Amino acid sequence: MGWKGARRKAASTTLAAVVALVLAAGTPVGAQPRTGTVPPFGAVAEGRNASPTPPPPPPRLPRDFRGKGTWIVRDLDITVPFTWEGRDGDSQMTAGGPQYPIWFTNLIYHDTLYTLTYKWPGLNEHPCSRIPGFNLEALNEGFENARFVGRETLRRTPERHVNHWRVGVVVPELPPGNYPRLPLALGDIYVDEKDRGTFWQVLQFGIQNLYDPELDEWLVMDTFEHRPGTVTLPQRCEPPR
């Protein structure tokens, strides 16, 4: 997240803006766990969801962490290495690299959200977009309003028992009833069942994934440790001197 590609500078700014919106969006609370479903990407809902127990506490990204995994763009058949690291409240996602078909980094750095895409199929412009006034506290405040989907098992090696949460941006949010609505962005977040600060999987769907034809991308973590990582602001994102 996180912290998640029209191809001009304005589009890049919109991308970062919607990332901030989806992470800070208010959504209904108190939803009951879902039953009888098979969630996507190897997650299996468990029968105990039928019990009307109170939902667990929502996700909360820690100040210090480091993890490795993969970034998956399924419709482009692209899977690249992925790292997500945090240090003293700043955090950085990096997918791919110069030798891969996609390469980007997203940062929360000194109270500013940055998005920089170095490589993407069909992308010719590579500006660094900035949204000031966004930090870890704002991110976690957004998570406070996430909807609890259910307790699930990610069928990987090893298996992960997780709590599945959803955040989203739909316009107009109100009033209820028969009104045309546009789903701008959704995020499905899978955190460890015993530790809401350990993130194992995230689906991003919506216009924050503008560069992808089907508007959806996955991050899947293989490791997630609660110790300080490394966060580096790219030179291209530094303010002019």
How does pLDDT run across 195-208, given as a tens digit for each residue?
999 999 999 876 66
Question: Using only C-alpha atoms, what is the Rg of the chain?
Answer: 17
How does pLDDT run across 137-180, given as a tens digit for each residue?
999 998 998 999 999 999 988 999 999 999 887 778 788 888 88
The model's pTM is 0.78
How far is the C-alpha of 198 from the C-alpha of 160, rounded, in Å?
11
- Helix %, strand %, coil % of the chain (to 5): 15, 40, 45
Burial letters 190-204, b for 16+ CB under 10 A, else e: bbbbeebbbbbbbbb
Residue 240 is classified by DSSP as P
Beta strands 65-73 and 90-96, pairing class: unpaired
Average pLDDT over residues 53-63: 93
8, two tokens: 């001009």
Tell how far CA 156 is from the center of its chain: 20
pLDDT band at 11 (very low <50, low <70, confident <90, very high): very low
Average pLDDT over residues 39-47: 48
CATH of 9-237, one of 2.60.120, 1.10.3470, 1.50.10, 2.50.20: 2.50.20
What are the domain boundaries of the chain?
9-237
